[in-house]
């Protein structure tokens, strides 16, 4: 019996080492090596090769090694009738909070503009904003959104969030469901997307949504590229309805060389690095779930099949 690690990047050995360190007694295989497929009970996956999970006749659980699971559902051959788990990790949440906070402060203090000015040796001090001037609105008040909200409140920002079910977080104005979306958007100046990518949220960052934000708002997408309608963002920037955007995730990754985002002065790009699962931090929860699976105990961090996240 054992775990197979299925991913297409160069991190398989790193994850294998972390799992072996957490549980030397458990067999852990790389999908790239010869391994006994019938022995595999759990697949630890991250953007695995589509269709590859069919090879495991006795698979009992698919574990995402990140917070998102959209790539599992988009593999039409994945056995999604099996339990699917995801990562809920304090380090993943604090890394995301630090990234988004850095982006917000860079925006407030015009640091992106000064970087552009520097390239042309332009000395042009411009007025800066203060924390009190902005309301940050977070789409998604789950594990990542809730910690970000808490930390931004600590800095003194006005913070509001939008989620599917009702939330109660200290000093955070909470909006729930479709009917509250307009009220949420119309009072947001910096919009952060931290939603899971599901059929309900795909393309949510579109013209209709941007139109409901106050003029001059700034958009941060750190969730998934599929949330954003690229053309709608470009148009909202072109018309100056939005003042800028910071994007960490894209429809196609790496972002295609010819994509207009690369050279857009109001678009700030990071290469899907806002928050990266740390193998050592995450390995213990994978091992605990693996043992639970074998002992027929309840799994942690189960994805709801109905909600798709």
Residues marked active site are found at 224, 272
What whole-number distance in Å separates Cα of residue 19 and Cα of residue 13?
10
> Strand pairing partners for 62?
43, 84
Q: How far is the CB of 35 from ligand NDP (least distance, A)?
A: 28
Check residue 188 for interaction with ligand NDP (CB under 6 A).
no
What whole-number distance in Å separates Cα of residue 5 and Cα of residue 237?
41
162 phi/psi in degrees, rounded to 5:
-130, 130
Q: How far is the CB of 168 from ligand NDP (least distance, A)?
A: 12
Check residue 144 for interaction with ligand NDP (CB under 6 A).
yes
Nearer to ligand NDP (CB atom), residue 98 or residue 288: 98
Q: And the tokens for 170?
A: 């200290």
Which residue's Cβ lies closest to ligand NDP? 142
Check residue 7 for interaction with ligand NDP (CB under 6 A).
no
Window contacting ligand NDP (CB under 6 A); options: 51-59, 123-131, 182-190, 195-203: 195-203
Q: How far is the CB of 206 from ligand NDP (least distance, A)?
A: 14
Q: Which of 165, 168, 179, 263 contacts ligand NDP by CB under 6 A?
A: 165
Q: Which of 5, 15, 140, 188 contacts ligand NDP by CB under 6 A?
A: 140
Window contacting ligand NDP (CB under 6 A); options: 8-16, 44-52, 106-114, 198-206: 198-206
Pattern 86-115, ligand NDP, x by CB under 6 A: ------x---x-------------------
Q: Which of 12, 22, 43, 222 contacts ligand NDP by CB under 6 A?
A: 222
CB 188 within 8 A of CB 214: yes
Check residue 228 for interaction with ligand NDP (CB under 6 A).
no
Q: Which residues are CB-neighbours of 155 under 8 A, at least 6 positions away? A: 101, 131
Q: How far is the CB of 64 from ligand NDP (least distance, A)?
A: 9
Pattern 27-66, ligand NDP, x by CB under 6 A: ---------------------------------------x
Q: Which positions lie near ligand NDP, rule CB under 6 A?
A: 66-68, 92, 96, 140-145, 162-165, 194-198, 200-201, 222-224, 248-249, 272, 274-275, 309
């Amino acid at each position: 019996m054992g775990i197979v690690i299925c991913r297409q990047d160069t991190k398989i050995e790193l994850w294998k080492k972390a799992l072996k360190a957490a549980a030397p007694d458990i067999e852990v295989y790389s999908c790239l090596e010869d391994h006994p497929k019938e022995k595999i009970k759990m697949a630890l996956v991250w953007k695995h090769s589509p269709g590859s999970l069919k090879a495991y006749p006795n698979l009992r659980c698919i574990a995402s090694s990140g917070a998102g699971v959209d790539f599992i559902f988009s593999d039409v051959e994945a056995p999604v009738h099996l339990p699917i788990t995801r990562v809920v990790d304090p380090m993943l949440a604090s890394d995301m909070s630090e990234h988004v906070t850095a982006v917000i402060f860079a925006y407030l203090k015009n640091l992106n503009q000064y970087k552009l000015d520097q390239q042309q040796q332009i000395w042009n001090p411009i007025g800066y904003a203060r924390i009190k001037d902005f309301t940050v609105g977070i789409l998604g008040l789950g594990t990542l959104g809730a910690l970000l909200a808490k930390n931004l409140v600590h800095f003194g920002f006005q913070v509001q969030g939008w989620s599917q079910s009702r939330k109660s977080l200290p000093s955070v104005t909470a909006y729930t469901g479709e009917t509250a979306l307009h009220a949420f958007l119309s009072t947001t100046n910096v919009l952060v997307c931290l939603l899971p990518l599901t059929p309900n949220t795909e393309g949510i960052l579109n013209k209709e949504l941007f139109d409901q934000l106050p003029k001059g708002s700034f958009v941060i997408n750190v969730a998934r590229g599929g949330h954003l309608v690229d053309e709608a963002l470009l148009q909202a920037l072109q018309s100056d309805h939005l003042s800028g955007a910071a994007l960490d995730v894209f429809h196609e990754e790496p972002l295609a060389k010819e994509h207009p985002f690369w050279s857009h002065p109001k678009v700030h790009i990071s290469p899907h690095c806002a928050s990266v699962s740390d193998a050592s931090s995450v390995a213990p929860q994978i091992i605990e779930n693996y043992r639970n699976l074998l002992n027929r105990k309840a799994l942690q961090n189960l994805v709801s099949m109905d909600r798709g996240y």
